[in-house]
Amino acid sequence: MPDMIKKAEEIFFRILMIISTVAIAAALLLILFSILYKGLPSLSWEMISQTPKGGFYFGKEGGILNAIIGSLYLSICSTILALIIGLPVAMYMNVFLIRHKKSLNLIRFFLDILWGIPSIVYGAFGFVIMIYFGLKTSLLAGIITVTLFIIPIMVRSMDEVIKTVPSGLLESALSLGSTKTEISYKVFLRQCIPGIVTAILLSFGRAIGDAASVLFTTGYTDSIPESLSDPAATLPLAIFFQLGSPIEEVRQRAFASAAILTFIILLISIVARLLSTKFNRNKIKF
Amino acid sequence: MSGLYRKWIDRINEAWMFVFLLLIIILPFILAAGLYLKSYLIISENHLSDLLFTDIWKPAENKFGFAPFIISSVWVSLSTLVLAVPVCLLSSIYITQYARSSVLKLMQPVIDILAGIPSVIYGVWGVLMIVPFSVKAAEWFGIHTTGYNIFSGALVLLVMIIPFILNILIEIFRIIPEELSEASLSLGATKWETIKFVLLRKALPGIVSAFGLGLSRAFGETIAVLMVVGNVIKIPHNIFDAGYPLPALIANNYGEMLSIPKYDSALMFAALILLAVILVFNFASRVLIMRLERYA
Amino acid sequence: MNETPKILISNLNLSIDKQDILKNINVKIPENKITVLLGPSGCGKTTLLKTLNRLTDLYENVKINGSIILDNEDILHTKSDITKIRQKMGLLSQRPYPLPMSIYGNVSYGLKIKGVKKKKMLDEKVEHYLKAVNLWEEVRERLHHPASALSIGQQQRLCLARGLAVDPEIILADEPTSALDPLSSQSIEEMFTILKKDYTLVVVTHILRQAKRIADYVVFMYLGEVVEQGPADEFFSSPKMDRTKAYLKGAFN
């Protein structure tokens, strides 16, 4: 008899487990479906090819080209900046510091903690810097803030990739007389390209999707920014503001904008996935 | 290329790598210092306990009581945690212990995409689906609500932190050696008994820290929560009350903060509280995880 | 060897992901003897051991056919509860894996699973089996400390006590000394020779000298097949197959 109870308990929990897992997958489908279902009908060429015209915020004509371009500027620039800072750091950790396990663990620990700091705190900090240096809300201030925000993501995910390079490769390259710099950028970089590209895409996705960090710093404008000191609109904020409107047409556009952002993010994750499976295939050879 | 030249390149390169690394390491300190300096004004004029524990928020009258926001934040993140614990535990156990490996292959992209969806999209989804659901759910309990409340915030946050927690839990269950299960099974335990008495116990520190990290994620999440949580400055009394968490406070008032004296200082203080809480949670959880990895 | 074997393995084939791991295994494991599964690493001896208590159920995409008869019951195709069959066999693995609980908790774990609840009974059993593996004197003062604090050698003896506590008839050991220092290894080997009075032992090893020290019956395996089997003295003094001879000379490992 106790065996029956044991069995029933296990089956009961197994069913709950399956329900939980299915529910998680279902949540994703629900999100994608509801965004696309609401967004696609109001999506038009006008939406993505024009900046807001007079009366846009009352539901008249115009589009969100300003926000799309603003977001692209912002996220491309900060991804490049973060790459310029992040790649050397990740290399340094894995080529120069590889024998110092303790400091390496400490650095990873720090980066993980930085990764955990929410973007609104980076946003507030960006605001503090802005005030300190007398900057106005601008593309530049936004880029600085977002760069700080994605650096830990960039470094840690590249680090995870570079970490997998077998240490034998480093030793044999050293014994052939290469300097550590040459090893970093010729041997290791080539070895890890797909993984590094995945890391860059991941950071880019974070940069383009985050709203809280740019809320204070980039400002918002209906025109396309022409210099770094202009304010800039971003896609997440465009969605946020339009959804807050009481006018139905504007809210419809918020859903359409959300569909656009979702497309971009899905595209990024599909490319990243393709690359990482390719990367894994290369890795098995060792 | 001469050897000397190459050597110098190497030196210079090493130096600049090192400088960048230092910059990253001192970043959290600069962050804290910057926020502290900016919020110094309000900390110096008020008792810390007054700021944290009083509930009158009238910036125009120089009254800054953070209690409604802090309590809202606690409500939202704890309710998220209560929902997340069973879902994440059950699912991670299923994926790592019962399911065929093809299920993991199927779930991995699901988890990754969920993790990549921007916060504002979660917010839009929350407005579309969760808020109406929240109205219905409250009716069950005989409560009338707009749907913009803590429950909605917690549900949206739940879906947002699931991929994050699930990833860690799956990793933790996978580093537990299979021989441990074999030992338990060969003593006559069933699979479920093995999970209950051995695996969960072995993974406990890891599980605690996974949820610690998830909790701090939930605590700092801004836009998605802000869009569904109601934003009413009042101490909430049940899960169907509207709330006004700290991140929402900061995000909602950036526009006017320079027009009222000390308002900006108060908002930076809110960011500082957020940073402090999250650093503590992160620190504790990471230390636990590192320990687990060392002894596993 | 005319008495009925404790375990009779016939025509056993096992494949994982369509890769053959065990090919047509026929082995008779005699009662109250130490049977040694000998062979170079990767020859399938550990898999064979795990098939005996069906830990192979854990693997994905396994195909098993053939039969393993224990006490007139084919354990591969039985309808009775697999946990009952597993309790007839104690398992000792390559490295000790103490359960994440106290020393006391480890030894009493199997008993509690069986449904023993009386504290007095549990106390007695724990003491009895810890004495059986010569661990009692070393740990009696700290029964409720975590088992992971013991030395590796003590942990392995604890694992043996834990396995004995569920009152098995058979002890399966998978290279049980490979992680141990020479002294601890010796004490495990000595214990085995004492235990065979009451238990049937199946020990996997790739150490030839260990096999010579403890074996009563030897099964030599190579690349998933049983090359030769027989009583230990015969096997070591006059091997019949060429591959066995080569192995005994140390030609491959």
Cβ distance of C109 and B197 shorter than 8 Å: yes
In the sheet with C170-174, reading across from the earlier edge strand, the strands are: C89-92, C170-174, C200-205, C34-38, C217-222, C225-231
Cβ distance of B17 and A216 shorter than 8 Å: no
Q: pLDDT at position A191, please?
A: 83
| B87: region left, alpha or beta (phi > 0 left; psi from -120 to 50 alpha) | alpha
C84, C91, C100: residue with CB nearest B201: C100
Token representation of residue A253: 């556009």
Q: Best residue in B102, B173, B175, B187 to probe C by mutation, most C CBs within 10 Å?
A: B187
The whole model's pTM is what? 0.91
Asked whether residue A280 carries a pLDDT value surpassing 70, the answer given is no
Residues of C in contact with B100 (CB under 8 A): 60
| Dihedral sign of CA atoms B116, B120, B123, B124 in order | negative
- Are A35 and A248 in contact by the 8 Å Cβ rule? The answer is no
Q: pLDDT at position A123, please?
A: 93
Cβ distance of B184 and C89 shorter than 8 Å: no
In which band, very low, low, confident or very high, does the pLDDT at C83 lie, cut at 50, 70 and 90?
confident
- Are C125 and C112 in contact by the 8 Å Cβ rule? The answer is no
Q: pLDDT at position A100, please?
A: 85
A21, A215, A258: residue with CB nearest B251: A215
Domain ranges of chain A: 2-42, 47-284
- Are B101 and B261 in contact by the 8 Å Cβ rule? The answer is no
Chain B / chain C CB contacts < 8 angstroms: 71
- Are B224 and A258 in contact by the 8 Å Cβ rule? The answer is no
Print pLDDT tens along chain B (296 aa).
567 888 888 888 888 888 888 888 888 899 999 999 999 989 988 888 888 988 889 888 888 999 999 999 999 999 999 999 999 999 999 999 999 989 999 999 999 999 999 999 999 999 999 999 999 999 999 999 999 999 999 999 999 999 999 999 999 999 999 999 999 999 999 999 999 999 999 999 899 999 999 999 999 999 999 999 999 999 999 999 999 999 999 999 887 777 788 888 999 999 999 999 999 999 999 888 777 665 54
The pLDDT tens digits for C46-82 are 999 999 989 988 888 899 999 999 888 898 887 778 8
Token representation of residue A202: 């991941």
Give residues with Cβ within 8 angstroms of A49, minimum separation 6. A63, A65
Q: Which CATH architecture has domain B53-295?
A: Orthogonal Bundle (1.10)
Q: Best residue in C46, C84, C97 to probe B by mutation, most B CBs within 10 Å?
A: C97
Q: Least CA distance to C163: which residue of chain B?
A: B187
Cβ distance of A124 and B268 shorter than 8 Å: yes
Asked whether residue A282 carries a pLDDT value surpassing 50, the answer given is no
- State whether residue C239 is helix, strand or coil: coil
Cβ distance of B187 and C60 shorter than 8 Å: no
- Are B274 and A121 in contact by the 8 Å Cβ rule? The answer is yes
Q: pLDDT at position B237, please?
A: 92
Torsion of CA C56, C58, C59, C65, to 10 degrees: 40
Chain B closest CA to C164's CA: distance in Å? 9
Cβ distance of B17 and A89 shorter than 8 Å: yes
Question: Could you say which residues from 91 to 130 on chain B have a Cβ atom under 8 Å away from some Cβ of chain C?
Answer: 100-101
The mean per-residue pLDDT over the stretch A143-153 comes to 94
Annotate chain A with three-state secondary structure: CHHHHHHHHHHHHHHHHHHHHHHHHHHHHHHHHHHHHHHHHHCCHHHHHCCCCCCHHHCCCCCCHHHHHHHHHHHHHHHHHHHHHHHHHHHHHHHHCCCCHHHHHHHHHHHHHHHHCCHHHHHHHHHHHHHHHCCCCCHHHHHHHHHHHHHHHHHHHHHHHHCCCCHHHHHHHHHCCCCHHHHHHHHHHHHHHHHHHHHHHHHHHHHHHCCCCCCCCCCCCCCCCCCCCCCCCCHHHHHHHHHCCCCHHHHHHHHHHHHHHHHHHHHHHHHHHHHHHHHHHHHHCC
B79 touches chain C (CB under 8 A): no
Enter the CATH code of domain A47-284: 1.10.3720.10
Asked whether residue A286 carries a pLDDT value surpassing 50, the answer given is no
Residue corresponding to tokens 């329900």: A19
* Better-predicted residue by pLDDT, A228 or A168: A228
Chain C closest CA to B108's CA: distance in Å? 19
Cα distance from N-terminal residue to C-terminal residue, chain A: 53
C100 touches chain B (CB under 8 A): yes
Q: pLDDT at position A69, please?
A: 94
B17, B119, B123: residue with CB nearest A88: B17
Asked whether residue C38 carries a pLDDT value surpassing 60, the answer given is yes
What is the Cα–Cα distance from C229 to C239, expressed in whole angstroms?
9
Residues of B in contact with C204 (CB under 8 A): none
Residue A28 CA, chain-centre distance (Å), reads 18
Give residues with Cβ within 8 angstroms of C42, minimum separation 6. none
Cβ distance of C87 and B187 shorter than 8 Å: yes
Question: Could you say which residues from 116 to 175 on chain B have a Cβ atom under 8 Å away from some Cβ of chain A?
Answer: 116-125, 127-129, 159, 162, 166
φ/ψ of C37, rounded to 5, equals: -90, 110
The pLDDT tens digits for C97-155 are 999 999 999 999 999 998 899 999 999 999 999 999 999 999 999 999 999 999 999 99
Chains that touch C (3 or more CB pairs under 8 A): B
Q: pLDDT at position A1, please?
A: 54
Q: pLDDT at position A193, please?
A: 86
What is the Cα–Cα distance from A112 to A153, expressed in whole angstroms?
8
A14, A181, A210: residue with CB nearest B119: A210
> Which one, of C54, C4, C79, C40, lies nearest residue C225 by Cα?
C40
Asked whether residue A58 carries a pLDDT value surpassing 80, the answer given is no
Mean pLDDT of chain C: 90
- Are B269 and B187 in contact by the 8 Å Cβ rule? The answer is no
C92 touches chain B (CB under 8 A): no
- Check residue C75 and report its DSSP letter: T
The pLDDT tens digits for C146-161 are 999 999 999 999 999 9
Residue corresponding to tokens 């130096």: B15
Q: Bridge-partner residues for C102, per DSSP?
A: C146
Token representation of residue C180: 């141990």
> Which one, of A157, A146, A148, lies nearest residue A199 by Cα?
A157
Token representation of residue B28: 């959290």
B31 touches chain A (CB under 8 A): yes
Chain A closest CA to B113's CA: distance in Å? 7
Amino acid (1-letter code) at residue B248: A
Token representation of residue B127: 């407005």
C60, C90, C94: residue with CB nearest B100: C60
Give residues with Cβ within 8 angstroms of A33, minimum separation 6. none
What is the Cα–Cα distance from C108 to C105, expressed in whole angstroms?
5
Secondary structure percentages of chain C, helix, strand, coil, to 5: 40, 25, 35
Q: Is the ipTM of this complex over 0.95?
A: no
- Are B68 and B246 in contact by the 8 Å Cβ rule? The answer is no
The mean per-residue pLDDT over the stretch A47-58 comes to 79
Token representation of residue B244: 């006004």
Residue corresponding to tokens 């994620």: B217
Q: Best residue in A125, A180, A235, A270 to probe B by mutation, most B CBs within 10 Å?
A: A125
Chain B closest CA to C35's CA: distance in Å? 19
Cβ distance of B28 and A31 shorter than 8 Å: no
In which band, very low, low, confident or very high, does the pLDDT at C3 lie, cut at 50, 70 and 90?
low
What is the Cα–Cα distance from C86 to C95, expressed in whole angstroms?
20
> Which one, of C31, B24, B211, C111, lies nearest residue A158 by Cα?
B24
Asked whether residue A285 carries a pLDDT value surpassing 70, the answer given is no
Chain A closest CA to B275's CA: distance in Å? 7
Q: How many CB atoms lie within 10 A of CB B198?
A: 23
The pLDDT tens digits for A61-91 are 778 899 999 999 999 999 999 999 999 899 8
Chain C closest CA to B34's CA: distance in Å? 45
**At B37, which helix (H) or strand (E)?**
helix B3-45
B42 touches chain A (CB under 8 A): no
Enter the CATH code of domain C1-81+209-253: 3.40.50.300
What is the Cα–Cα distance from B172 to B231, expressed in whole angstroms?
37
Chains that touch B (3 or more CB pairs under 8 A): A, C
CA distances from residue C170 to B17, C32, C53, C195, C199 in whole angstroms, order as listed: 61, 9, 10, 10, 5
Buried b (16+ CB within 10 A) or exposed e, C233-247: eebbeebeeebbeeb
Amino acid (1-letter code) at residue B119: S
- State whether residue C23 is helix, strand or coil: strand
Cβ distance of B125 and A208 shorter than 8 Å: no
- Are B221 and B277 in contact by the 8 Å Cβ rule? The answer is no
